[in-house]
């Protein structure tokens, strides 16, 4: 028999004459099997005379020969089926055909061996408790398969006609397929059960192995930890000892610092009392309110210490003197009744004013501060009976040169050279104008020019070339705002306290004390407004600002509420002791200017925001809008930090 492979057709077994395989057996034994494209047909033929005797005589040898032949044929068929398309179907068909014809061909023993081998293997695998249940189910399936096979055979025999006509092959083949499916299902079910059982056993073994490994690792870790603790115990104790000693040292250092004047530079602990800075601010608030009241009454206010015409703030000076005097050996930052009393004593020593005229010595080149000036000429309206004559010193008056002082309360002595508005003047004349609050009367070449000048404040300096010092008479109100250097000259400190004070007032210490980082956000916001338009009518609309609304709105975004106009903002800063010096300027600080006499506080008419690097942002005018300009120091009233 030859087996050929068809490319696109079902598998067909070709013989010499017909694609059918005929097996001749006895009368009542007939099996027909169809597997894929191979059909097995069993025909009943009459046996030849004497065949039964021959089979009875030589049955044993025939069975042996048939057994060997069957085994060899099955092996060959299975081997060949493995190399052709549809081989698995052919192999199953051969096995089923062999099982169906086993009684006639004498090969039942081979099938029995196969069954027994499978049964032995399954018995070995079904020793587990859960596998026993699956085994019973398998037996039940096997019984159903056998019943189905017998039912199929009986149904085929009943439909066979009495004259030996061909049976209904289609139904017969269907019953065989059902029988085959039951057997295959039983085998596959057992294989699956065996795999699951083996997988479960393997997982349980792995789980036991993992548990054992964890236990061993834990025991090893505990053993290692004990050994390490024993070995490292001295080192650990040494480390703890060092840390403890370091902690004691740090605590001791902090205790020393917080009981020294340096405590003011560190975050102060919560003592249940007010902060020294807060208490000192209240003292300055009351003091400045009194000065403002005098100005409103018409008094001319002059400061003992000023810089470029701007009053010098001595807030830090006063605070440091207090810390030096009362911060050694005790906690000076505790503002109980005794602490407040000592702080007020120092404040009164460094901040006071008087309303009577006074005289003070000012070195050459130093600013006299802001002075009040008027204009006059040589006409009868200005000079009366002395019109057209010489000056009180006998010289001929000249424009842009001659100054007059009050005859009874002169600001400076006759002959003193004064620099104002970039011009050098000389005091050559006298008058009677101190009662009007005027310090100097400037001579002009015409009455119209004198009237145009009117009355205005300018900063005055002692010109170079004069004597080393000039005794200046100050009429009105003189504010004594002593610096730490002024206090050192009072000789009220010990040598050790003087050394402390000079160290604490050094530039590095003061820079750290007045860091001013709170205004950085305001400065950054101000830079984003450059290019916006100027308008007083639309000052609260987006994209429009004037000088004071720019300051007010930006500080509001930073969480600080300020008044609405430049003059009221300046007064708020002044009254609340927020004045700073030019060298202390940080981003976000304010610069207040006075360009005219407007009757407002200190005649403030403009305000700008310092943004660092010697520059400021301000709403200049309707033509320029919000711009970035270099810092201007002329006409400055004061600098302030409103936070």
pLDDT tens for 55-79 read 555 444 444 444 444 555 555 555 5
Which residue, chain included where needed, has tokens 């508005």? 421
Residue 269 belongs to some domain of the structure: no
d(CA 20, CA 33): 11
Residue 233 belongs to some domain of the structure: no
Q: Which two tokens stand for residue 288?
A: 């400045």
Are 368 and 342 in the same domain?
Answer: no
Residue 546 belongs to some domain of the structure: yes
Q: Tell me, what's the pLDDT at 416?
A: 86
Enclosing domain of residue 616: 514-640
The residue that leads in pLDDT, 127 or 539, is 539
* 3-state DSSP assignment of residue 578: coil
Residue 272, phi then psi, degrees to nearest 5: 85, -5
CATH code for the domain of 536: 3.90.1720.10
Residue 404 belongs to some domain of the structure: yes
| Residues shown for the chain | 643
Provide the greatest CA pair distance for the chain: 187
Q: Tens digit of pLDDT for each residue in 292-308? A: 888 777 677 888 888 87
d(CA 293, CA 601): 11
Are 379 and 309 in the same domain?
Answer: no
The residue that leads in pLDDT, 201 or 420, is 420
Q: What is the mean pLDDT of residues 442-463?
A: 88
Are 281 and 348 in the same domain?
Answer: yes
- Looking at the structure of the chain, the number of domains it has is 3
Residue 565 belongs to some domain of the structure: yes
d(CA 472, CA 469): 9
Which residues fall within 8 angstroms of residue 100, CB to CB, at 6 or more apart? 31, 33, 176
| pLDDT of 467 above 90 | no
Q: Tell me, what's the pLDDT at 367?
A: 80
d(CA 329, CA 338): 15
| pLDDT of 163 above 50 | no
Q: Tell me, what's the pLDDT at 318?
A: 94
Residue 203 belongs to some domain of the structure: no
Lowest mean pLDDT among 4-13, 342-351, 415-424, 628-637: 4-13
* Domain endpoint, select from 354, 387, 415: 354
Of 149-158, 226-235, 335-344, give the range with the top mean pLDDT.
Answer: 335-344
Sorting pLDDT into bands at 50, 70 and 90, what band is 381?
A: confident
Q: What is the mean pLDDT of residues 601-614?
A: 93
Are 348 and 376 in the same domain?
Answer: no
Q: Tell me, what's the pLDDT at 169?
A: 45
Query: Which helix (H) or strand (E) segment is 318 a member of?
Result: helix 315-326
| pLDDT of 88 above 70 | no
The residue that leads in pLDDT, 22 or 476, is 476
* 3-state DSSP assignment of residue 34: strand
Residue 197 belongs to some domain of the structure: no
Q: Tens digit of pLDDT for each residue in 238-287? A: 777 777 766 676 666 656 666 667 777 667 667 677 888 889 989 998 99
User: Do 50 and 70 touch, CB atoms closer than 8 A?
Assistant: no
d(CA 418, CA 443): 13
Are 544 and 624 in the same domain?
Answer: yes
Q: Which two tokens stand for residue 50?
A: 């004497």
Are 538 and 440 in the same domain?
Answer: no
Percent of the chain at pLDDT > 90 equals: 24
Are 383 and 297 in the same domain?
Answer: no
How far is the CA of 333 from the CAs of 35, 270, 491, 625, 629, in angstroms? Answer: 108, 10, 24, 47, 41
d(CA 336, CA 357): 38
Q: Which two tokens stand for residue 244?
A: 């403890």
Are 456 and 561 in the same domain?
Answer: no
For the chain, the average pLDDT equals: 74
Helix H, strand E, coil C: the string for 100-145 is HCHHHHCCHHHHHHHHHHHHHHHHHHCCCHHHHHHHHHHHHHHHHH
Q: What is the mean pLDDT of residues 452-467?
A: 78
d(CA 261, CA 509): 12
Are 375 and 466 in the same domain?
Answer: yes
Sorting pLDDT into bands at 50, 70 and 90, what band is 31?
A: very low
* Domain endpoint, select from 314, 332, 354: 354
**Beta strands 351-354; 579-580: pairing state:** unpaired
Instruction: Of 369, 344, 354, 355, give the one whose Cα is nearest residue 284.
Output: 344
* 3-state DSSP assignment of residue 365: coil
The residue that leads in pLDDT, 146 or 373, is 373
User: Do 358 and 478 touch, CB atoms closer than 8 A?
Assistant: yes
| pLDDT of 578 above 60 | yes
* Domain endpoint, select from 310, 329, 354: 354
Are 349 and 296 in the same domain?
Answer: yes
Lowest mean pLDDT among 44-48, 374-378, 518-522: 44-48
Are 408 and 304 in the same domain?
Answer: no
Helix H, strand E, coil C: the string for 454-511 is CEEEEEEEECCCCCCEEEEEECCEEEEECCHHHHHHCCCCCHHHHHHHHHHCCHHHHH
Residue 496 belongs to some domain of the structure: no
Are 332 and 363 in the same domain?
Answer: no
| pLDDT of 638 above 90 | yes
């Amino acid at each position: 028999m030859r087996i050929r492979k068809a490319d696109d057709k079902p598998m067909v077994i070709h013989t010499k004459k017909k694609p059918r395989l005929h097996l001749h057996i006895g009368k009542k034994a007939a099996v027909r099997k169809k597997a894929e494209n191979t059909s097995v047909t069993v025909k009943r033929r009459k046996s030849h005379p004497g065949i039964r005797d021959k089979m009875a005589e030589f049955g044993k040898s025939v069975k042996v020969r048939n057994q060997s032949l069957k085994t060899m044929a099955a092996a060959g068929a299975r081997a060949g089926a493995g190399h052709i398309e549809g081989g698995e179907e052919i192999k199953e068909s051969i096995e089923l055909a062999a099982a169906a014809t086993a009684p006639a061909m004498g090969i039942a023993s081979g099938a029995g061996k196969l069954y027994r081998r499978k049964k032995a293997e399954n018995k070995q695998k079904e020793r587990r408790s859960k596998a026993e249940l699956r085994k019973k189910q398998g037996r039940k399936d096997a019984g159903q398969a056998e019943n189905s096979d017998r039912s199929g055979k009986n149904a085929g025999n009943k439909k066979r006609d009495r004259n030996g006509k061909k049976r209904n092959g289609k139904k017969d083949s269907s019953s065989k397929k059902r029988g085959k499916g039951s057997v295959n299902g039983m085998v596959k079910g057992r294989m699956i059960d065996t795999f699951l059982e083996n997988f479960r056993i393997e997982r349980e073994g792995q789980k036991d192995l993992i548990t054992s490994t964890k236990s061993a690792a834990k025991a090893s870790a505990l053993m290692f930890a004990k050994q390490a603790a024993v070995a490292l115990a001295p080192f650990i104790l040494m480390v703890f000892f060092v840390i403890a000693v370091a902690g004691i040292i740090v605590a001791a250092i902090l205790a020393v610092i917080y009981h020294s004047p340096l405590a003011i530079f560190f975050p102060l602990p919560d003592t249940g009392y007010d902060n020294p800075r807060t208490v000192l601010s209240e003292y300055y608030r009351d003091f400045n309110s009194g000065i403002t009241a005098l100005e409103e009454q018409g008094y001319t206010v002059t400061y003992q210490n000023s810089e470029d015409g701007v009053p010098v703030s001595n807030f830090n000076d006063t605070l440091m003197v207090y810390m030096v005097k009362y911060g050694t050996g005790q906690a000076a930052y505790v503002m109980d009744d005794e602490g407040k009393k000592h702080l007020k004593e120092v404040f009164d020593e460094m901040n006071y004013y008087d309303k009577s005229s006074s005289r003070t010595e000012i070195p050459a080149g130093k600013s006299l501060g802001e002075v009040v000036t008027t204009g006059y000429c040589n006409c009868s309206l200005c000079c009366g009976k002395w019109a057209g004559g010489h000056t009180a010193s006998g010289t001929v008056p000249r424009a842009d040169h001659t100054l007059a002082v009050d005859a009874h309360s002169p600001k400076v002595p006759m002959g003193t050279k004064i620099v104002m508005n970039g011009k050098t003047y000389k005091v050559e004349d006298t008058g009677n104008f101190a009662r009007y609050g005027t310090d100097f009367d400037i001579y002009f070449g015409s009455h119209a020019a004198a009237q145009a000048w009117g009355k205005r404040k300018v900063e005055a300096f002692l010109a170079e070339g004069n004597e080393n010092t000039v005794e200046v008479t100050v009429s009105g109100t003189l504010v004594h705002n002593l610096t730490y250097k002024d206090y050192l000259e009072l000789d009220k400190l010990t040598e050790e306290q003087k050394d402390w004070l000079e160290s604490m007032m050094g530039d590095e210490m003061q820079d750290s004390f007045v860091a001013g980082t709170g205004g950085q956000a305001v400065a950054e916001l101000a830079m984003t407004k450059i290019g916006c338009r100027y308008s007083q009518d639309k000052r609260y609309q987006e994209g429009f600002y004037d000088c004071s609304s720019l300051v007010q709105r930006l500080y509001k975004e930073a969480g600080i509420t300020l008044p609405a106009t430049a003059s009221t903002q300046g007064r708020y800063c002044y009254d609340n002791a927020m004045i700073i010096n030019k060298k202390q300027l940080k981003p976000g600080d304010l610069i207040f200017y006075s360009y005219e006499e407007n009757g407002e506080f200190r005649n403030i008419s403009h305000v700008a925001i310092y943004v660092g690097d010697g520059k400021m942002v301000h709403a200049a005018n309707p033509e320029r809008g919000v711009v970035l300009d270099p810092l201007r120091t002329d006409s400055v009233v004061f600098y302030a930090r409103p936070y």
